[in-house]
Chain A
Amino acid sequence: MASDVRAGASAAAIRPVGAPGSSQVIRTGGTARVAIYLILGLFCLYYLLPLYVMVVNSLKPLSEIQAGGMMSLPRDWTVEPWGKAWSTAQIGVAATGLRPFFLNSILMVVPAVALSTVLGAMNGYVLTKWRFRGDTWVFGMLLFACFIPFQMVLIPMARLLGLMGLAGTVPGLIFVHLVYGIGFSTLYFKNYYQQFPTELVRAAQIDGAGFFTIFRRIMLPSSGPIAVVCIIWQFTNIWNDFLFGASFSDFDSQPMTVALNNLVQSSTGVKEYNVHFAGAIMAALPTLLVYVVAGRYFVRGLMAGSVKG
């Protein structure tokens, strides 16, 4: 296994990410190349196998799964489990399918991501370009949000949501994720804006631009790479969150993750594994989609933040 790891590492060095076909490519002999591809292929299999199992089993009738053919392709292809998981499956006490909860998740994740990204950008802007007495202290406290374990804030947060009248609602969940998200988004944007030349801000000041105009016209248009990183990070985290969703939502405000759990837990007799698989894929699709669409910018953005050159 140790040798596998080393081979994996050297394989990564052969073609550095973000520099395809560049002069950094190290020439290797034929045998080494074959070995590298074999090992890479093996790892691909490892990673893709669970997805394969989920996709195949979500497309076959329950009887085929019960017959014990988990790994085999379906004999009778069917999308019925998908339809069932989406609109008619039993979730807790109601047979609504996952549809309303998918909507809940969207309604929660879009504002939470948008707000935490914009506020993070604003924080980063202030903390780097409009420094004030005690700003490092403020930043330190914000960073704290990145490291406080979720469990610690459950009870105080429940109390706070209750006081604000947001307990058990989607806006309540948005608030919780916003509070947690700002720490990370501030960290991202602060590091990014630290590289951003302060002379540009000064030039804009002399040109007559104010605080918000500089942010909107100068800073934001140059923040593409880090915004993508931040959005992907926040989207994935908030979409996949289970603990806050389970703790702070009512039945009608549950996010997708909690509903999926309820789908799997609530049985009306037989466990419909094919429906469960379909539901699980549905819950994972949005994050998958985000990675496929913006994944390359993610890597680029991470690079831009660290080695600007």
Chain B
Amino acid sequence: MGFLDIRRATKSYGAVKILHETNISVEEGEFLVLVGPSGCGKSTLLNMIAGLEEVTTGDIAIKGRSMNGVRPAERNIAMVFQSYALYPNMNVAKNIAFGLEMHGVPKPERDKAVAQVADLLQITHLLDRKPGQLSGGQRQRVAMGRALVRDPDVFLFDEPLSNLDAKLRVDMRTEIKKLHRKLRTTIVYVTHDQIEALTLSTRIAVMFGGHVQQLGTPKEIYDTPANMFVAGFMGSPSMNLFPATIAVEEGRAVAKARCGGGGEVALPFAEGRGFEAQAGREIVLGLRPEAITDRDGADRQSRAVHVVDVPVEITEPAGSDTFVMAHLGGKEVTGRFRADVDVRPGEVFPFAINMEKAVAFDPTTELRIA
């Protein structure tokens, strides 16, 4: 049993099922990120933990106590909203202290707690201002201060960074991570940004269509996605997925795929993946862009780098890397090459493909085979 337990929880509005049966157990101090496209049910699940929405069936428990029917204020949780939801008529200090006031904490203690939190977040100089006079980043800090001051069991974040501009978002991301390291609090964080999910979390739940598609550490999610949705959703640029056929050549399993120029490439799998017995099987091969690179950029640790000649279609220099597009298995694939590799569109170039990182999916069930 964990610190926060979501046990067989579902949510329906009438006949429409928003969230299918979900089981997640969060340990104390964990940073769980719920990530998925809009409408996947992640915000609904967060609101159910907060108590803003009732659970239709199942149960959510915090510290072993079932929260069904418990009002949000009595769950000992705090929430940071996407719009920050600062009370416009109160100054920053009152905003932060409001929750304490509602819970009957006497004024001297409130003032002390506010001062402490303001110090932690470096917003002491803003305490007398109204939310309307603050910048986006400052509002974000105040919203976090309002959550922190309550010293809750669980912090809930609902897309807290999506209203900030790109640079500030990266800064605040780091800040949240530092805060989590420092305070060791339990956090459930909702976002649609997969980078945020990968950088912040200790565990990720990827959601789609009201189902948790995969629950795991960022590395598990990234390296071994459970299905094609997770593979395509997590990572940027997303994982290359193209059809291939398993064949056995000289006792070794290879994936055969059509190549842009009209030829065919045969990519031998790393040993011990168990594909030898499945010759002839149609699969969808998944390769991250960094597993398709130039010869010298390839991972030296890998024992299964395979070089094939592929016609280049277009290149996109991006400063630190150059992205190279080509066709494999009838699909456009993207490779992440080193920035100064001299590769030109139209020429045939040796691509180094790291088959140790390759994953294979079943084309019909879209589930990972190995």
Contact = CB atoms under 8 A, between A and B. Distances in A.
B102 A209 contact: yes
B89 A207 contact: no
A157 B83 CA distance: 48
A29 to B, nearest CB: 41
Interface stretch (B73-81, B226-234, B304-312): B73-81
Interface string A204-215: 111111000100
Interface in B92-112: 98-99, 102-103
Contact of B85 (A203, A213, A221, A222): A203
Contact of B79 (A206, A209, A217, A222): A206
The listed residue with most B CB atoms (<10 A of its CB), out of A200, A205, A207, is: A207
B102 A200 contact: no
B81 A203 contact: yes
B77 A206 contact: yes
A218 interface: yes
Nearest to B99: A207
A197 B83 contact: yes
A221 B102 contact: no
Contacts of B81: 199, 202-203
Contacts of A207: 73, 98-99, 102, 146, 150
Interface in B144-189: 146, 150
Interface string A64-105: 000000000000000000000000000000000000000000
A208 B52 contact: no
B106 to A, nearest CB: 15
21 contacts: A197-B85, A199-B83, A199-B85, A200-B88, A202-B50, A202-B79, A203-B79, A204-B98, A205-B52, A205-B72, A206-B51, A206-B72, A206-B77, A206-B78, A207-B99, A207-B102, A207-B150, A208-B74, A208-B102, A218-B87, A218-B89
A113 to B, nearest CB: 23
Main secondary structure of the interface of A (DSSP, over half): helix
Interface string B48-61: 00111000000000
Contacts of A208: 73-74, 99, 102-103
Interface of A: 197, 199-200, 202-209, 213, 217-218, 221-222
Nearest to B87: A218
A204 B71 CA distance: 12
A221 B95 CA distance: 14
The listed residue with most B CB atoms (<10 A of its CB), out of A197, A205, A208, is: A208
A200 to B, nearest CB: 5
Contacts of B51: 206
B98 A199 contact: no
B82 interface: yes
Nearest to B74: A208
